[in-house]
A and B are shown apart, each in its own frame.
Chain A
């Protein structure tokens, strides 16, 4: 099976990304609805979160809403990454990998992945602070994730060079 062009692996991956794109939009919509609803509609009964410190922490609308808003924000960054990735795969499906815009798209993907990783690192601390837990330990630095971010930025530079060479070839008569 070919790697690029119509009916290739790229086109199959693009279809998968299209599905993920729709699912993420629905997820963001759902999370925002829950955020708004948690502020408007009173919680039925008493809700508590067990933080493993004996007594559970009571969940109030002002504690729940930021959690879901944060989740919506995280999903929005994920959606942003998928959107850029879809555009890159659209050029691959068209058989034009060194499209001039792919360089900036890959850099945006790298920035998005870095933002997601920072969110992953800080979310336990933010959650503990929000719920008033005494232990506020964040997740350590995931070297594999940061290496992946670095690889995406390096790939962006490779694509920039590819785009430049393509332009040179186009203007060689």
Chain B
């Protein structure tokens, strides 16, 4: 997917573990892991809001657009 999640980089900058972030944000560790590994298909504004608040960052710090071909299963959504 052209949208890449840079959660690992932001976490490294903040010296915060994924488990700690999961506790603070109120999202399960499994779901945050899906997000971090780029397997997520969509993100709620409420999740993005909580992440930005806890990591003290902007949405653009977490999400980056990288031009490239879409995933094979993305076409099914339309």
Is B34 close to A, CB under 8 A?
A: yes
Least CB distance from A120 to B in Å reads 37
Least CB distance from A42 to B in Å reads 62
Complex interface: stretch among A22-30, A99-107, A165-173: A165-173
Of A164, A171, A173, which is within 8 A of B32 by CB? A173
Q: Mark A37-80, 1 if CB is under 8 A from B, else 0.
A: 00000000000000000000000000000000000000000000
Least CB distance from A109 to B in Å reads 23
Q: Give A171 to B42 CA distance when docked, in angstroms.
A: 7
Q: Give A171 to B76 CA distance when docked, in angstroms.
A: 15
Is B39 close to A, CB under 8 A?
A: yes
**Contact between A172 and B44, CB atoms less than 8 A apart:** yes
Is B27 close to A, CB under 8 A?
A: yes
Q: Give A119 to B15 CA distance when docked, in angstroms.
A: 69
Interface size class, chain A: under 10
**Contact between B35 and A173, CB atoms less than 8 A apart:** yes
Is B63 close to A, CB under 8 A?
A: no
Q: Give A40 to B77 CA distance when docked, in angstroms.
A: 60
**Contact between B44 and A173, CB atoms less than 8 A apart:** yes
Q: Which residue of A lies closest to B30 (CB)?
A: A173
Q: Residues of A at under 8 Å CB distance from B?
A: 164, 167-168, 171-173
Q: Residues of B at under 8 Å CB distance from A?
A: 27, 31-32, 34-35, 39-44, 47, 76-77
Give the 4 A-B residue pairs with the shortest CB-CB distance, closest first.
A171-B41, A172-B42, A173-B35, A173-B40
Could you give 26 example pairs across A and B, Cβ below 8 Å? A164-B76, A164-B77, A167-B41, A168-B41, A168-B42, A168-B77, A171-B34, A171-B39, A171-B40, A171-B41, A171-B42, A172-B40, A172-B41, A172-B42, A172-B43, A172-B44, A173-B27, A173-B31, A173-B32, A173-B34, A173-B35, A173-B40, A173-B42, A173-B43, A173-B44, A173-B47
